[in-house]
Amino acid sequence: MKHGSTREVYAHWKDRRGNRPAPPRADIDPVAIRRALGDTFMLSTDFVDQLRFRLAGTRVCALFGREMKGETFLDLWSEKTSDAVDELLSIITAESEGVVAGLTGRTDDGFDVELEMLLLPLLRVGRGSHGMLGVLAPTVPAYWIGTKPVVRVDFRTVRHLGAETASVPQPMEPPPEGVEVRHGFTVYSGGRQDDPPSERSA
């Protein structure tokens, strides 16, 4: 985990989880992660059929140039990536397993920013309802964030965070079509040709 917000939120989630598969949403204390709140978001399926932003920090909203509350999470991703993201969300929910991912965010006029994303499951609070706690933050500051909205997000790498071995990289099983596994990382095609995604780590 490269970003301080990612480490802070993961440590709080792990502490609140205890011996359970995941903590419920009500156990997440905003005060305990106040330094990371701007990079933090929550997803929920409350009253809807897809994961949507229940809330999003100011820096997450600035990244996309708008208020994210109520927006569908899958709408952020490029068409070639959305099916893999949908499968990843199902794995997180079914296995109560978090992931940390390296992403590339792109603007309409060709600006790129490297991002780190953390997704952690939250305990179900009702029938058919589930949620996730997340972090989305640039690993390298970009001067244009807040003036040029990111319009498309693509994967570079994904690392699963097992219940006991959070530092051990594990690929998705089985990898979706068009995805290559290299050295324990799941690498999605579509990155910049002059900067191979296999050379980066989440």
Mean pLDDT, to the nearest integer, of 8-13?
Answer: 96
Q: Is 56 left (phi over 0), alpha (psi -120 to 50) or beta?
A: beta
Higher pLDDT, 127 or 39: 39
Cα–Cα dist 143/98, whole Å: 30
Q: What are the E-state strand segments in 8-163?
A: 40-44, 52-56, 98-107, 112-126, 129-138, 150-161
pLDDT band (50, 70, 90) for residue 122: very high
Whether the bond between 169 and the residue before it is cis, its omega within 30 degrees of 0, is no
State the Cα torsion 132-150-104-42 to the nearest 10°: -10
Residue whose C-alpha is closest to residue 16's, from 30, 1, 6? 30
Q: Which residue has the higher pLDDT, 175 or 115?
A: 115
Instruction: Please give the pLDDT value at position 143.
Output: 92
Mean pLDDT, residues 23-30 taken together = 92
Average pLDDT of the chain to the nearest whole number: 81
Q: Which of 6-15, 19-28, 108-117, 128-137 has the lowest mean pLDDT?
A: 128-137
Residue 115 burial by Cβ neighbours in a 10 Å radius (0-12, 13-18, 19+): buried
Which pLDDT belongs to residue 80? 82
What residue ranges define each of the domains in the chain, with the CATH number in brackets? 4-199 (3.30.450.20)
Tell me the mean pLDDT in the region 96-107.
93
For residue 50, what pLDDT band results from cuts at 50, 70 and 90? confident
| Angle made by CA atoms 69, 3, 176, in degrees to the nearest 5 | 70
Residue range 105-118: average pLDDT?
95
Q: How confident is the model at residue 83 (pLDDT cuts 50, 70, 90)?
A: confident
User: Residue 192 carries which DSSP code?
Assistant: -
